[in-house]
Amino acid sequence: MEVTGVILAGGLGKRYNGIDKSALTIGGKSMLDRILETFSGLFEEILLVTNHPARYTGYDLCIVTDLYPIRSSLTGLHAGLFHASHPYAFVTACDVPFSDPRIVRVLLDRIEPRWDAVMPQTEKGLEPLCAVYACRCAPQIAQHIERRQLKIQRVFNPAKILKVPESQFRKIDPELRCFMNVNRPEDLTDARQRIESTD
């Protein structure tokens, strides 16, 4: 099954004084570079969704922007699915420091036409920004955006979401670091300490 890799880079970085979170370094590499290392072995087509394309001119990437002027992960998801050339897309955020191709493959291997989405489910809930989506869902996502219904999980019929239990991911990543986001400065400190302890 052909799949597009989509990276959402739409955040304002308010907790980092406007600094682009994807450029923050962990273990000597930016978070975006870490994700691209994962994606390069999995996807022929990679899209970066951002409303600040000038920040990424140093990358040989296909850059697209939101189609709706509403700040939300859902608008970024919509743009990624709308512009993808393949029938499915794996979607992640740009602030994920522990991207792992083995984790992505767990999801890719479960793609079937009957599912609109394939998402990890942990004790904290679903992980919609580490998930596979059918690009045919872009029109229904647009309808939700127009109604200002912006929670990703509510777009989809629950019966059409394949929820992959955390046990499948703990076999690869016992601490589930793959789902960690660097939302706050303390998260960045934590991620750097984890890298140092692993090294």
pLDDT of residue 164: 98
Least Cα distance to 190 among 97, 52, 61, 55 occurs for 97
SS3 at position 87: coil
pLDDT of residue 198: 64
Mean pLDDT across the stretch 13-34? 79
pLDDT of residue 6: 98
Task: Examine the pLDDT at 13 and tell me if it is beyond 70.
Answer: no
Q: Which two tokens mark 162? A: 């394949």
Mean pLDDT across the stretch 29-37? 94
Task: Examine the pLDDT at 7 and tell me if it is beyond 60.
Answer: yes
Q: 10 pLDDT band (50/70/90 cuts)? A: confident
Q: What is the pTM of this model?
A: 0.92
Least Cα distance to 92 among 36, 148, 18, 140 occurs for 36
Q: Which amino acid is at 44?
A: E
Q: Which two tokens mark 166? A: 């955390």
Write out pLDDT tens, residues 148-198.
999 998 999 999 999 999 999 999 999 999 999 998 889 898 888 888 766
Q: Which two tokens mark 157? A: 């019929």
Which residue, chain included where needed, has tokens 């850059």?
Answer: 63
Task: Examine the pLDDT at 143 and tell me if it is beyond 80.
Answer: yes
Write out pLDDT tens, residues 50-62.
999 999 999 999 9
Least Cα distance to 30 among 198, 184, 195, 199 occurs for 195
**3-198 has CATH 3.90.550.10 classification:** yes
pLDDT of residue 185: 87
Task: Examine the pLDDT at 199 and tell me if it is beyond 60.
Answer: no
SS3 at position 144: helix
pLDDT of residue 11: 59
Write out pLDDT tens, residues 81-130.
999 999 999 999 999 999 999 999 999 999 999 999 999 999 999 999 99
DSSP H stretches of helix in the chain:
31-40, 73-83, 101-108, 138-146, 166-170, 185-198
Based on its alpha-carbon atoms, the radius of gyration of the chain, rounded to whole angstroms, reads 16
